[in-house]
Structure formats: C-alpha cells, structure tokens
Structure 1
Amino acid sequence: MFFLPRLMNITVVVFSSSLVKGLAAFALALGLVGCAVSAPGHEDLAANDAANTAREAALSAATAQLLFTPPSALPWQPFALPGKRYEVFEPVAVQARPALRVRAQSSVSILRRQFEPALLAPGRLAFSWKVDALPLAADLAAADAADSPVRIVLGFEGDRSRWTPKMHRLSEMSRLLTGEELPYATLIYVWGNQEALGTVVVNPRTDRIRKLVLDSGTSQLGVWRDHVRDVQADFRQAFGEEPGPLRVVALMTDTDNTRSALTAWYGALTLEAAAPAR
C-alpha cells in the first residue's frame, strides 16, 4: 500500500500540526504503513499534559545543544505517522556524550527540521549514531522489510518537469492530502543489515528516494559511528545530477515492518551551507 493519510498532531513531544504537512509528503514517499494505535482516555489527558510539557522542554533544549543547521524559521520538531507506533526522542548522556535516544518497538520515530526558506546549497554534514541491534531480517531494497535502526534524511527541491507521470500523480495526491507536494528527491543515509558500504539502494516504490549505506552489519553494534559527508557529492553519486535546494533534514528510526525492538542513539549533527563559488 503506497497511500498514507494526513499526519496528525501528537502531544508526547514538541509537535505542531502546522508543520505536519511538510514531511507528511516525505513520509508518503517513503511508503510507510502499519497497524493502528489507540488514543489515550480522557482520564489520562491531564497527567499526560504535564509529562508532555516536561518532555517538550527537555527535547527543545537538547536539540539546541546537539543539532546545528543553517537558520530556518522552523525549529526541530518530532512527529508521528498515523497508524504507526511512535517512540519519543529522549535526551540522554552516553559515556559522557550527549545524545538523543530512541527505544524502538515496532515503531517509527522521526525528528525533523524544515527549512524556511529552503537551504539553497547544502555542504558538509557531520553526524554520529549508535545502535545496539539491527531490525530482524531487514532489507533496504524490499518494500515490506526496509527498516533501518538509524537514518539521516534529506529532502530536496528540483525540476519537477523531469518527473514521470507516476511521480506527478503521487505528488498531487500528497498535495490534496497534506497541502504540500512531495520533495523532488530524497537522499537517506542509513545503517543496513547486509548491504555493502557505499551501496546506493533505490526505493522500490519510487526512484526519487535513494539510500546511501554508511554502516552495515553487526560488527559495529554498541560503537559510536562518526560520519562526515559532502552532501552535494553524495547526491550526485546517488542521483547522477546536481542537487537543488534543501527543504528538510530529519532523524528517523523505524522498525515497524520487521516488528523489531532496538535502541538507537543520535549524537551531535552539524549541517553547513556550501561555500559560495568563486
């Protein structure tokens, strides 16, 4: 099933319904589907509100200390997908290293920043991640098993006249459902189960989403993995064209398709604008 309904507001962490639309389009492109979740009862709402306010404040402070990007009118914010279990990003310290932890349980957790205005030329991206396990039998090339314990997601603008008719239909569906079109192209850095390092995996539902494997297999479980990437060079490798402006950057941990449980940590992330051409 490729269709995904409109994202909804949640109260567990900082989340704004006005921002749902941006990455809802991105999430639609990822083709995420899953089981339904139940809403809290009325008796739980008062207690939830107090806990959620504390979580919101802690997460806001942590993102300000850990996640650095060029300026945007919009902050880092988590969001949930309808029909998906959502596990929160928790500020923690791991071996005196500040991080955001996700305890995944057959879930999809996303924390994103949308750029307004779009970042015209992304440059260097540095980040770190750590995981204690991999999703069971995950396969990045299989639509029904394409889970990954950690992802860094980049959504780009571009020349939509180059899209296939299918992509135009999907984007129009997204616009009708969410108010926003799909990103022109999405590049995702991933940790795979078995794919060779440096492999570019094309999403089975659309070739406008491509994954670049930076870590793979179990040999580095429990170890911080630090990466520094040239975003423009990686986009050229993955798509064979120049990148357009960057619309969104996101952290994403998903284990829903494989019904897996694991813990993922994200360390500091720094995204820089490319230096002006001389």
Structure 2
Amino acid sequence: MGGSGGDAMAMIGFVRAICLLAAAGSASAATLQPFAGSASTPLAPWQVGGLPQQTKPFTHFSVVDLDGHRALRVEANLSYGNLVHPLQMTAANNHLAWQWRLDEPNLAVDLHQRQGDDIALKVCTLWDMPIDKVPFLERQLLRVARSRAGEPLPAATVCYVWDPFLPLGTALDSPFTRRLRYIVLRSGTERLHQWMPERRDITADFLKLFGAETNEVPPLVGVAIGADADNTQGRSVGHVADMVLDP
C-alpha cells in the first residue's frame, strides 16, 4: 500500500479509536450514571456513537433485566458502535468496577490484524492527555482528526476486552493506531453466560500503557462500552452491569 493509502488507513484507525467520545459532544458529567431506560436505548448522559457519516449498521444497545441485574445488552452484527458516557474528572487513584458476561463470542477476531480487529465486549476509559505528550507523527494525525471531527477527541484510550484467544493480561496496541490500547481481562469461551466481576485501578492501567509518553495522569473524559463486528463480518452478544467509578 502506498503512502496515501497508509495515511488513509491510519486516519481510519484514529477515527475508530477516538470517535468513542465524539458523538457525546460537550455534555460531560461529574459522576458515572447508572444504566436506565427501556428496551430501546439507555438514557442520557449515555449516548450511542459511531463513525462519521456511518453507513454500516450500528451496534445495538438496550437496557434489560437479567439474573437480577439491570444490565446493558450489547449486540454486534456486522456493525460498529459504542455507548459513551462523557465525564470531566481528575482520575487520580480512581477505580472502575463492573460485571460482564459474554453470551455469543465472535471467533473470527484477531486483534493483531486490521481485518480481525473486532471485539465482542469491551469497556474503555478515555483520557485527555496533552497533545504535546503524543509522539510526533501520531500527534499530526490526531490534529487532523480533531479538525475533521470538530470535537476535542481524546489522545489516549484504554480498552478492557473479552477475547476468545489472547491470554489473560495481554496488553497490545490497536492494529490501526497506538492511541488505542487493549488489555485482555477475560479470555476463552469456557465461561459463557456467566457474570464475571472486574475492578481496575484505571490510573495504574493508564500509566502501564501510556507511561512511556507521560508520567502524569490526565483528566478522565469518558467511559465507553462497545462491541464491533464490521471487520470480520461476524456477530456477538454480551452484557454489562453494575458499573461504578469510585476512589
């Protein structure tokens, strides 16, 4: 692929990573709100976001009652999309806790490859890292992306993922852009249909993945839940519940 094609693919990667926040605009909240709403979509401040001028299907999000939990059902079917909760808060020593369960995995994924870069269930934290801390080439792409989107897109995103193949604890960059980095919290398909609890020190995880670029923890500007199956043309179903952000 030539230079212009490579630049285009890199820009796609930035868009996929940082449009997590774009659709939410400036309506940020001081605290993380619980899921609410009917079987259609969750209520504000949670908002569905996708790619600019997206023509492919959106990942479907609905609020359901399941096993005594008020849960978010996340279904990806040849689709892309994220449910975003904008925030504006200092993240020092914050912990993010939730429960999730994977019901239908996507076995065509491969997070090392662009054509396999789909995730059946993910929880992401979005960070307003100063742009002067971003490596030069990525900084230029980020500036272009921000200009095109007309949004203050985050410079760093950490996604906790449930992957069918990668070992627990695997940390890796998105194959599209290093502004988006993954940590595998759950692996395999042995515990389908089972609620699994998580609690993460999001400050420590940010520094683990982005500490080579900055030793300061920037403001947390959003939390997102998502799934996508557009690259693999696949399908997945999962649920997330009991999400809490606390010291």
In structure 2, C-alpha distance between the alignment counterparts of 1:99 and 1:268, rounded to whole Å: 7
Deviates more, 1:239-248 or 1:261-270: 239-248
Query: SS state of the match for residue 132, structure 1?
Result: strand
Aligned pairs for 1:1-278 (under 5 A) are 1-4=9-12, 20=23, 22=25, 59-60=42-43, 75-81=45-51, 82-115=54-87, 118-121=88-91, 123-240=94-211, 241-272=215-246, 274=247
In structure 2, C-alpha distance between the alignment counterparts of 1:260 and 1:166, rounded to whole Å: 33
**Which position in structure 1 is the counterpart of 2:32?**
none
Q: Larger C-alpha radius of gyration, 1 or 2?
A: 1
Given residue 230 of structure 2, which amino acid in structure 1 is its aligned partner?
D
CA contact (8 A) 2:59 2:227 kept: no
Query: SS state of the match for residue 108, structure 1?
Result: coil
Instruction: Report the Cα offset of residue 250 of structure 1.
Output: 0.5
Instruction: Report the Cα offset of residue 178 of structure 1.
Output: 1.2
Which segments of 5 or more consecutive residues in structure 2 lack a partner in the other structure?
1-8, 16-20, 27-36
In structure 2, C-alpha distance between the alignment counterparts of 1:133 and 1:88, rounded to whole Å: 14
In structure 1, C-alpha distance between the alignment counterparts of 2:79 and 2:103, rounded to whole Å: 16
CA contact (8 A) 1:235 1:242 kept: no
- Indicate the RMSD between aligned Cα atoms, in angstroms: 2.6
Given residue 91 of structure 2, which amino acid in structure 1 is its aligned partner?
A
CA contact (8 A) 1:128 1:227 kept: yes
Which segments of 5 or more consecutive residues in structure 1 lack a partner in the other structure?
8-17, 24-52, 64-74
- Counting aligned pairs with the same residue, the percent is 31
Instruction: Report the Cα offset of residue 267 of structure 1.
Output: 0.9
Given residue 20 of structure 1, which amino acid in structure 2 is its aligned partner?
A
In structure 2, C-alpha distance between the alignment counterparts of 1:162 and 1:80, rounded to whole Å: 27
Given residue 268 of structure 1, which amino acid in structure 2 is its aligned partner?
D
CA contact (8 A) 2:22 2:149 kept: no
For CA contacts below 8 A with separation 6 or more, give which structure has more relative contact order.
2
In structure 2, C-alpha distance between the alignment counterparts of 1:211 and 1:54, rounded to whole Å: 31
**Which position in structure 2 is the counterpart of 1:71?**
none
Deviates more, 1:199-208 or 1:223-232: 199-208
Instruction: Report the Cα offset of residue 59 of structure 1.
Output: 2.3
In structure 2, C-alpha distance between the alignment counterparts of 1:2 and 1:84, rounded to whole Å: 19
In structure 2, C-alpha distance between the alignment counterparts of 1:177 and 1:130, rounded to whole Å: 36
Deviates more, 1:218-227 or 1:136-145: 136-145
> TM-score of the superposition, structure 1-length normalised?
0.70
Query: SS state of the match for residue 232, structure 1?
Result: helix
In structure 2, C-alpha distance between the alignment counterparts of 1:143 and 1:187, rounded to whole Å: 18
**Which position in structure 1 is the counterpart of 2:31?**
none
